[in-house]
Amino acid sequence: MFNLLQIIQTVCPMSLVEKIVQDLKDAMKARDEFRTSCLRMAKAALKNEQVARGHELEDQEAQAVLQGLIRKGRDAAKEFRAGNRESMALKEEREVEFFHEYLPKQLSPDEIEGVLKEVIAEVSAQGPKDLGKVMKAAMPRIAGKAQGKEVNEIAGRLLN
């Protein structure tokens, strides 16, 4: 038997921002320090973006903010490793994995390559000079499902 909250969530699913706020409350109640810390970080980043844009964030905008946190976490882990701070690098990587739970399933490099091959054929790209055209056409299709840096690297390899 469904309770009222489950029925409402089925009819009107939560936005990503609402889900993060709700999960933060649940993590605080459960006294889960790691989840609470990650969700507070995400909530603050989302709030900053909302203030900067001047409106409530849509799911795609919120996903972009989370991808930014993931990118920063990966960069930080790399820097910590370079500085011989393995424990901090592992903490950053754990946070990155946590944030991935809130994003759509990420595409594999082979799936990205398939999409890029279609786009290259559609825009009639000839070589590296057409990378901008390819990226402009590909990113709306791949948005939220892959990091732009990875897409750019694969597109560059395909155009060479």
Residues 104, 63: contact at Cβ < 8 Å?
Answer: yes
What would the two tokens of residue 56 be?
């409530």
Give residue-wise pLDDT tens across range 124-143.
Answer: 878 788 888 888 888 888 87
Q: Is the pLDDT of residue 21 over 90?
A: yes
Sorted by sequence, the CB contacts under 8 Å of residue 14 that are 6+ apart come out as 22
Element (H, E) at 54: none
H-only helix segments in the chain: 4-11, 16-29, 33-53, 59-82, 86-100, 109-123, 131-142, 148-159
Per-residue pLDDT tens digits for 70-80? 999 999 999 99
Report which of 71, 51, 156 is spatially closest to residue 112, judged by C-alpha positions: 156
Tokens of 54: 């001047």
Going along the chain from its start, the domains and CATH numbers come out as 14-100 (1.10.1510.10), 109-159 (1.10.10.410)
CA–CA separation, 40 and 30 (whole Å): 15
What pTM was estimated for this model as a whole?
0.71
pLDDT of residue 144: 72
The pair of structure tokens assigned to 95 is 């946070």
CA distance 82 to 72: 15
For residue 7, what pLDDT is reported? 56
Burial of 103 by CB count in 10 Å (0-12 exposed, 13-18 middle, 19+ buried)? Answer: middle
* Backbone torsions φ then ψ of 44, nearest 5 degrees: -65, -45
